[in-house]
Structure formats: structure tokens, C-alpha cells
Structure 1
Amino acid sequence: MIESEDDLVKRAVGGDMAALATLLEQNCAAVRAMLNIDRKWASVLDPDDVLQVTCLEAFLQIGKFNAKGPGAFLGWLSRIAQNNLCDAVRELSAVKRSPPGQRIGVAGQQDSTALLLANLGMTTTTPSRNAASAEVCAAINNAISLMPPDYGTVVRLYDLESMPIGDVAAAMKRTPGAVHMLRTRAHEHLREILGSDTAFFSQCA
């Protein structure tokens, strides 16, 4: 007997990852067909890149999904995919506009930890002005350990070790576009995790 989408969604939202995997298998082809990637990005971004990050986000966010009738899951998954695609194109465009060798970030920030916090729109609440203090670094490392491995890897390599995007892509066996998507999503999750640690961090106004 074929299980209905409503039943699969209910089980997936309740934590049944097998049900979610079935939903993704049923809907990913349709999502892929909706993706429209400009030819100029063809060498650095692929529809499968978008789908991989989208599926990862689906596993992370399914508990928040609120079904609203037939086709709701496809609509939800499509929005995640389109957001990922927009993020990748925005970051690729920013890199293309920047002078060769210049990293996208906050000018004048030499310390990679301070730069990461600045990119997250956060500030440390510790009395020390050194954002790389042992306590803050420990909190960041702990937050990274709570994220999916690919998210943690991209933050460590690009943000903390300052590797060029091409080298990060090669190390992760991903396209540059995929790395940008992973980094954007990783920053969102890192911001959420660190934001709950009021002992050290606060959101910038």
C-alpha cells in the first residue's frame, strides 16, 4: 500500500527520517526542474549542488515544517532550493566584483575569529577586547561541532583558516557555488547556536 503524502509528512515532522527520505525522493526531480541557473555560472554551480544543500537543510528544518494542504511539501522544498540558489549567485557575484585576491569580509579585521563574528553580525560580551580569547574560541569550536560536518568544515577552512574559495572547494570536492551555499547556511546555524550563548555573545543592532 502506497502511503499518502500527508501521512509521510506527519511522520517526517515527528522525526521519522525514513519518511523524509521518501518525500525527498518523490519531490527532488520536480525541484531540480524549477532551478534556473544562468549559463555564466555553469562552471562553478550545478543544480545538483543546490539539491544537496537543500536536502541537508530539509533534514535540519523538517521539525519546523507546517503542512498546509496538498503540495505544501514541494512548495517548502522549492523555497529552500531557490534561497540556496540566490545565496550562491549573490556570493559568486560578490567574488567576481572584488579585486583579485581580496577576501569578502570586514576591512581591517585581521583576526579570523573576530572576522567570523563580524560576518555573523555578532559581538563578544567578554571584558577582553580580544575576540580570540580562549573562552570565545572554545564557544565557537563547540558551536561548530554541533553543526553538520560539511557546515563545520567550510567554516573552519574558509572563515578560520582563510583558505581561498577554490582551495576549499577542492578540499571538499564541491564546486565554488556549493561552498558558498554551505557557508551561508552554516553561518545561519552558527548564529543561532551562538546567539543562545548569552555568556559571550550578543547580536549586533
Structure 2
Amino acid sequence: MTSTSGSLAADLLADARRGSETSLGKLMQLHASYLKLVVASQLDDRLRARVSSSDVVQETFYEAHRDFPAFRGATPEEFLGWLRRILMNNLLRAVELHLKAAKRDVRREVSIDRAQGPGDRSVAAIASQLPHVGDSPSASIQRRENADALGHMLNSLPDDYREVIRLRHQEGLDFSEIGDRMGRSSGAVRMLWLRGIKRLRGLLDEGSEG
């Protein structure tokens, strides 16, 4: 980090400490390119087709924004180290969820194709993506077992949440394409997707406890 950028980062961190969300956002964006390079250097070849560097970084920013009150560092260097730890946790989760579950998912897809109609398969496809925002594999498997219940939960979401989840997981669109469909920026629909998935996971948690 150059002296100029280091000074800017220090000023932004100080402002963020005083409660400025705008400064916190700018501080995170200073490190976006670096974090994307970290993702690109760490991703397994088998994951590159399934995991977007931008998605991992955006998820990291979402978690960092949410958890910033718990950050105890005092310098920009400590903040960057904190961001990197969050990022690496997200990458490790991706490895666990995508690679270790690959064979199981193939078997499940064959089973689902035989047992369910097209609508149910779409719901199951969405369910299989829920771990992207963090969950244990065993819990995710249990929650995926009842596609009908998940379908009802999806229908209970606000229209914008339901639509962004449908476009992302049923039509396979990237966030820029979803933004074009919904008349929003790619960053806005990415955050909308994260909130929708969080809401859906909350419903799943309630259902698993009932």
C-alpha cells in the first residue's frame, strides 16, 4: 500500500469508526481488486466454473459490513488482514460445499429428476444453492429434503427477493443480467439476493425447529 493510499485508508477507517457507513464502503472498495486476486489465486480449477471471484468478495464485504462493530483492530493493515480472514473462510466454505458435495449432488439430481416434476426440480435447484451464504453441509442436506415446503417458503418472500432468487438460481443469470431485468445496478441486486437468501435461510431455520 502506498503512503497516499495508506493515509486515505487510515482516514476512512477513522471515519468508519465514528459511524460513517459511506467511509466503510469506500474503505472496503479500496481492497476489492486485491481480494479478487486472492480469490483467483486460491480457487481450484474445478471451482472456477462454479464460484465467481466477485461473488466471494461481495459476500465478504456484506459480512464485514455486518460485523464491523466487532472489529478490534486500529490500523488499515489490521483491517485488511481482517477482511482477508473473512474472505478465506468464504473460500474454505466454497471448497467444502462444492467439491466434497459434488458426487452427492449428482446422485441427488438424478433422484430428483425421477421423482419430481419440473417445478419441484426448480425449487430443489434453489435449495442446493442456499449454502453459498454460509451453513453446515449436514444442515443443508436436511433442509433440502422437503422441496414442497421450500416452495411455500419461497412464495412467502417479498416479490423482489423471490424474483432475484429465481433469476439467479433457476435461470442462471449473473448479477449484471439480473440488474438489467430488474432495472437496478448489479451491486444493488447482489445485495438484494444476499438479503433474500438470508430471509429464506431464516424461514428454513424456523421450519427445522418446528
TM-score (norm 1): 0.54
Q: State how many pairs are aligned.
A: 158
1:61 and 2:67 equivalent? yes
Question: Residues of 1 paired with 2:145 and 2:26: CA distance?
Answer: 48
Question: Quick one: which of 134, 139, 149 aligns to 1:112?
Answer: 149
Residue pair 2:165, 2:196 contacting (<8 A) in 1 also:
no
Question: Quick one: which of 32, 46, 65 aligns to 2:36?
Answer: 32
Q: Which residue of 2 aligns with 1:23?
A: 27
Q: How many angstroms does 1:183 deviate by?
A: 6.7
Q: How many angstroms does 1:168 deviate by?
A: 5.1
1:24-79 CA distances to partner (integer Å, 9 max, x unpaired)?
23222222232211112222223222122222333333233222445111011112
Q: How many angstroms does 1:96 deviate by?
A: 4.3
Could you say which structure has the greater relative contact order, defined with CA pairs below 8 angstroms and 6 or more residues apart? 1
Question: Residues of 1 paired with 2:66 and 2:197: CA distance?
Answer: 12
Q: How many angstroms does 1:185 deviate by?
A: 10
**RMSD value, Cα:** 4.4
Question: Residues of 2 paired with 1:88 and 1:68: CA distance?
Answer: 30
Residue pair 1:15, 1:63 contacting (<8 A) in 2 also:
no
Measured at CA, do residues 189 and 82 of structure 1 come closer, stay the same or move farther in structure 2, by a change above 3 Å? farther
1:128-147 CA distances to partner (integer Å, 9 max, x unpaired)?
xxxx7xxxx7xx74xx79xx
The unaligned stretches of length 5 or more in structure 1 are 116-131, 196-200
1:97 and 2:104 equivalent? yes
Identical columns (%):
21
The unaligned stretches of length 5 or more in structure 2 are 113-123, 129-140, 179-189
Q: Map residues 159-198 of structure 1 onto 2, 5 A cutoff.
A: 165=169, 167=170, 169-170=172-173, 173=177, 186-187=197-198, 191=202
TM-score (norm 2): 0.53
1:71 and 2:77 equivalent? yes
Report the AA paired with residue 112 of structure 1.
A
Question: Residues of 2 paired with 1:91 and 1:154: CA distance?
Answer: 24
